[in-house]
Every structure is written in C-alpha cells, then in structure tokens.
Chain A
Amino acid sequence: MAQRSGEVIEVYAAASLRDVLADIKKKKEASNRLRVELSFGGSQDLAQRFLLGSRHGTVFISADERQMKRVVDAKIFRPDHVRAIATNTGSVVVSRRARGRIRKLRDLSKPGLLLAIAGKEVPAGRVALEMIHRASATYGRSWERRVLANVVTRETDVRAVLAKVRLGEADAGFVYVTDALSAKGKVIALEVPSQFRASTTYLAASGNGSRSSGYVFVSTLARPNLQAFFRRYGFGPPPSKWP
C-alpha cells in the first residue's frame, strides 16, 4: 500500500520505544515521502492527553493494554484499529557503584539500598510490581515488603528510572530488557530467573479511517521488515493471537 506523499504522521509512543522508533522513522522517511513526528512519554500520560482532547489522525502506541483500553473505551480509537506490535519483558539494572552489593535479584531487599521504579500507573511500574510479586512467592512476603521499602522514587516513565540508575543516584531500578540493552556498559543488568519474569504487549492504534497514512503506518509495524528493528533492540514479537 503506497503512502501518500508529503504527509505528516504524528506518533505518540511509550518512552521505552524511543530508540527503535527513531530508527523506524529514518527508514520510513527515506523510503517514503512522508514525515514522522515522534513524541514520547509514559503511556498513562499520553493516554490522558488523548482523553483530554487530541487531534485525530495521530498514532498512539501504548506499552500495555490497560492504557490503550482507556482511550478505546472513550471511543478515541476503534477497537478494530488496534494492533499488537511487540512485547517486552521486565528487567532490573544496577548502577556500577552498587554492583558489589547487588549481584542477584534477591539482594534488592538489603537495607539502605536506593531503588527507582516507575509509578504504578506506568506500564513499566506495573510490570515491575508483578515481577516483585512473583519473586516473593520464592523469597517470601517479607522480602517483597523490604524491597518496596527501599524504593525512593516513582518516576513517570521507564526512561527516567534508567536515567536515575545511570547517574548512580539510584542503586538499582526496574526497567525493561530493552532499556538494559540500550545502556549496556553503563549499567549492569541482573539475571532474572525465568519464573519471575513479567512482560507486556505494545499496542498501536490510529485515529482516522483505514485509508489514512496513520493506519498504514500502524499496520506496517507488524510486518517482518520492521519487526527486524524491534528484534534488534531486544523486543519480543507480538503475540500470534491477539486479542
């Protein structure tokens, strides 16, 4: 499907997609005569902006189903225009100065650690809490309590969590595997046992009809040539059956 030339596609996307979408934007703009404008934030923040009134024809990519549901329920996007485009898994990164004290997930309950997490409405925050909860089945409920007591900041998106750990202000933070990969060498990613892992599905939607360039943009994201970009940054493929 050819996209009309000279058009501008506005994309509001979850903060964790920053790097991969910047690449996709370059590729799209090189091979089509269109412009892709990217704006990033916590999915809950972007959803709120759509709810308070945003222009049609824009693309929204949420890092979880819950924030997409909010805008679909408000009839801003049609349910049949929503597509799953990728998945991501929770991860824990440790600042270089704290690597001696934090070697495995279990160490996060050590007293005096400063942990950063995304707010509970932020998809990355929900994934983090789920991971902590799953781990508590093995490490115990008091472990979960002590980990949460070490949390000193609840950031508004996952990239802000990563920044606090990279700067060494926080000793460790809950992010996605893709964030851990993007900051390789600057932070240390903890090994998370597979039974504790929690993941999330990215959903994309566009406002206008099925002929609009936004709709075309969203439907191409799931195609193999663009999926290769997501894979390179550590994202998982979209679930084969969705919803």
Chain B
Amino acid sequence: MALKPSGGRDWLWTIWLALAAPFVLFLLGPPVGLTIAGGNVLGKLLEPESIQAMVLSLWTTAVCTLCAVLFGTPLALLLARGRIPLRGVIEALIDLPVVLPPAVAGIALLLVFGRQGPVGGWLEGHGVSIAFTSTAVVLAQLFVASPLYVRAAIAAFASLPAEVEQNARLDGASPGRAFWRVSLPLVRRPLLAGAGLCWARALGEFGATILFAGAMPGRTQTMPLAIYIGFETDLDAAISLSVVLLALALVVTWAIRAAMRGA
C-alpha cells in the first residue's frame, strides 16, 4: 500500500495518521467554507467599493513588487557575494519585518513617515504629503513584504557558483553582460518565486496599512481593509472579496511551487 513505509511499525504509522488527518481537515475547512459561502455573493464584486478596492490593491502591490525587485536585487547581490560592512545588521533588518507584528510596523512607519515624524515632517515642509495617500499604502506594503523577496534573492545568488560568471568573463563578456546574460537567467525562477511571495504578502497587508494609511475608498482602502470594514457594514461584499484573495493565494502558491520545481 502506498500509505505504508516498507517494513513494520504499522502502529506508529497509525498514530501519525490519526494526528495528521484531523489537522488536514482543520486546514481544509476554512477555505472550503469560504468558497461555498462565496459562491452566492460573487455579484457583490461589481459594487463600486469592491471594484475600487481591487483596482487599488492591484496597482499598489504591483508598484510595491517592482520597488522590491529594483532595490532588493542589488542588495541581495551585495549580501550574497560582496564583503560589505555591517552585514549582520543588514541581514537582521531584512529578517525583522518578517516576524514583526504588522501593527507594530504601522505605528513605527507612522512615527517616521507621518506628518509629525522626522521624514514625513521634512517632506511635508517641501510640499509632499504621505499621510492618508496611496503612497502610504505602498510604503506599508514595501516595509512588510519586500524582505520576502530579498531573502529569496540572497538564497538564489548564493547558490550560484562564482565560476559561472568568471567563465563568461574569460570568454570575453563584460561584467554587465556576464551578469545579464549568464547569471540572471540561471536564477530567474527563484527570483520570480520570491517576487510572487512578496506580491502575495503585500496583497494581504492589513495591520500596517490601516494604522499608517487610514481607510478611504479608492485611495487607501485596499482589499483586506475593505473586507474588515465590510464585515461591519456589508458582510456579503466582504465574503466576495475574501474569495478573490483566496483564489489569488492559491494561484500564487501553485505558481511558486511550479517555479521552484523548475529551478
């Protein structure tokens, strides 16, 4: 039988099964329940506030992921290959948002980028206001989600043997060309997986956003915020948006697994 390992010890196997099976059911219950409840209310997605929330979530997370790739890739390269000062501190900084409660991130962002904060106050003096804008939404997402990409990118670059690029250089390729045409294609899949993870985390960002950016339809009320507020005002709309996020989460997990298998 496929379930049994070779050899005896069937009783131990039974105990494992008895503990694991209810756990799987527990994990399975909520998504199945949500899908069933959501089937009847998907029409709610066409309501203006739902559409606004989806559009806002889509473009803010896209900007967030692009920024994470743009600024995170060089950082990951430096950390994976170079000898840079304060490496330990930087690596700890990258790990921090992953374990930091989002509400703490929201308060911290507010104290620095809020109108009374050093950076926010300075920007305000120059006519740039972050408070209550979509920029605040992106900053919250970037702070909480981008480390996921950077971590994945560090691992990807670290797994790449240094000789690969060196050989390309020996064959006459410039450093830039060796990186773009040889190294990057080799780590494309893990980088994409990291970007996917970052995007998914940004899409789900709630705690930091509601504290730091506020909640205004069309401007700062992303899908998770619309779900939270919909819980109080329009439960069906909240359920329909939840189903969309569940579907996206499933797609992302599937895509990441596919990408990593290829790598």
Contact = CB atoms under 8 A, between A and B. Distances in A.
B229 A152 contact: no
Interface stretch (B19-27, B54-62, B65-73, B110-118): B110-118
A114 B213 CA distance: 12
A154 B52 CA distance: 15
B219 A152 contact: yes
Interface of A: 42, 44-45, 48, 97, 114, 116, 119, 121, 151-156, 164, 167-170
Interface string B128-150: 01011000000000000000000
Contacts of A48: 231-232, 235
Given A167-B110, A169-B132, A116 B115 contact: no
Contacts of B217: 154
A155 B214 contact: yes
13 contacts: A45-B231, A97-B115, A119-B232, A152-B214, A152-B216, A153-B132, A153-B220, A154-B216, A155-B214, A156-B215, A167-B110, A168-B115, A170-B132
Interface of B: 110, 114-116, 129, 131-132, 214-217, 219-220, 228-229, 231-233, 235
A44 B232 contact: yes
A153 B216 contact: yes
A42 B232 CA distance: 9
Given A42-B232, A119-B229, A153-B220, A169 B215 contact: no
Contacts of A151: 216
A170 B115 CA distance: 9
Looking at B110, B114, B219, B232, the one whose CB has the most chain A CB atoms below 10 A away is: B232
A116 B129 CA distance: 16
A164 B220 CA distance: 15
A114 B131 contact: yes
A48 B233 CA distance: 8
B216 A169 contact: no
Contacts of B110: 167, 169
Contacts of B115: 97, 168-169
A167 B232 CA distance: 26
A169 B232 CA distance: 25
A103 B81 CA distance: 59
A156 B229 contact: yes
A44 B132 contact: no
A44 B232 CA distance: 6
A159 to B, nearest CB: 13
Contacts of B228: 156
A155 B215 contact: yes
Contacts of A154: 214-217, 229
A121 B233 contact: yes
Contact of A156 (B114, B219, B220, B232): B232
Contacts of B232: 42, 44-45, 48, 119, 121, 156
B233 A119 contact: yes
Contact of A153 (B114, B129, B214): B214
Looking at A42, A119, A153, A155, the one whose CB has the most chain B CB atoms below 10 A away is: A153
Chain A to chain B: the 7 pairs with minimum beta-carbon distance, closest first = A153-B214, A152-B132, A121-B233, A45-B232, A44-B232, A168-B116, A169-B131
Nearest to A171: B115
Contacts of A152: 131-132, 214, 216, 219
A54 to B, nearest CB: 14
Contacts of A156: 215, 228-229, 232
A116 B76 CA distance: 40
A239 to B, nearest CB: 27
B16 to A, nearest CB: 35
